Structure 1
């Protein structure tokens, strides 16, 4: 999802009103709105797979946590972002029907146009949220997932096909294979072929 710069700075109220009424989604960073363009097939499949797997795991545990996918904003100080997936567990996080302020897990699916922003600006912003425990970056074109945890001092751990990621903050485990279900990239296709041959 490529970001395109708007011309003028917006107040929070004007931004939120525009998002409710508008056809396009925008992220608001330092008062500037950035239009978000459409995501690829791989990007959508990964986000949907993750949301589905998280929903199934959370529902089974009856934890009260809930996963949101792509259309729910997160507010970080005075900025607003659209994470690809986030999990909110705080029942008090009902300041608005249009954004959340206390996610425990945030996931971004990396694309060429957003990779640098997801790895730098968004990572720093998200990690400033006291509630956040895990920040996850998912590659589209290869099967690689990078997980940063508060518990590790925001050090990265890498996961690949055949691995299972355990989200400590919500006590849920999801296999990398399930995250890449029906995603056509070279790593996934090779993994499937190897499984069929064994």
Structure 2
């Protein structure tokens, strides 16, 4: 079953149709938008950071959810690549409303929206503490922090990215494990050279 894409629909109609649709859609200003295909790098980055978060949060009340779980923001619905939910006031099993962290892996088709309109809408979520953008074509992560009035901070290969709201940190290198881009290749080559020099 396909969602109507030429007219505005209500959140209720969207939710009902999305449950039986073979294709995932986001709902933005009442209009359904089909989710784009993702690359292998995109998939690896999503899996890597989700795995790291899940491991470090296993003894806490926080849950790590990946891209099949919807996020409701007012009457909009998104599929974040990763979100961490530590408390929930919504009982619907098909979407969440109170994430602590939202993480998006940037791609050419979604970059502008994820960086601007989507970020600004999500920053209105009362529970949200951090919004994270991960580059897939280079080794760069941008973190927006509520604690710093939504100022952004950049992290690169060799750094550890700190999630203050969760009290944890993750090596950027681990997030980019097996990702194929020039920054990762250069970083690993330099790391190997440094190890060789230290051993000699």
TM interval, shorter chain, is over 0.9
Where does 1:1-198 land on structure 2 (aligned, <5 Å)? 6-59=5-58, 62-90=59-87, 92-198=88-194
- Measure how far apart 1:78 and its partner are: 0.7
Distance in 2 of aligned mates of 1:14 and 1:28 = 11
Distance in 2 of aligned mates of 1:95 and 1:143 = 37
TM-score (norm 2): 0.93
- Measure how far apart 1:93 and its partner are: 3.6
- Measure how far apart 1:94 and its partner are: 4.0
Distance in 2 of aligned mates of 1:100 and 1:176 = 27
Partner of 2:127, secondary structure, is: coil
Distance in 2 of aligned mates of 1:33 and 1:139 = 25
Structure of greater relative contact order (alpha carbons < 8 Å, 6+ residues apart): 1
Structure label with greater radius of gyration: 2
Distance in 2 of aligned mates of 1:104 and 1:165 = 16
Runs of 4+ in 1 over 3 A off after TM superposition: none
Distance in 1 of aligned mates of 2:57 and 2:10 = 36
Cα displacement string for residues 20-69 of structure 1 (whole angstroms, at most 9, x for unaligned residues): 1011110001110000121010000000001000000101xx21101111
Distance in 1 of aligned mates of 2:89 and 2:136 = 31
Distance in 1 of aligned mates of 2:18 and 2:53 = 26
Q: Which runs of 5 or more residues in structure 1 are unaligned?
A: none
Partner of 1:24, secondary structure, is: coil
Distance in 1 of aligned mates of 2:18 and 2:167 = 33
- Measure how far apart 1:14 and its partner are: 1.0
Distance in 2 of aligned mates of 1:74 and 1:31 = 15
Distance in 2 of aligned mates of 1:179 and 1:186 = 15
Partner of 2:157, secondary structure, is: coil
Count of residues in Structure 1 that have an aligned counterpart in Structure 2: 191
- Measure how far apart 1:6 and its partner are: 1.9
Q: Which runs of 5 or more residues in structure 2 are unaligned?
A: 195-200
Query: Whose strand proportion is higher, 1 or 2?
Result: 1
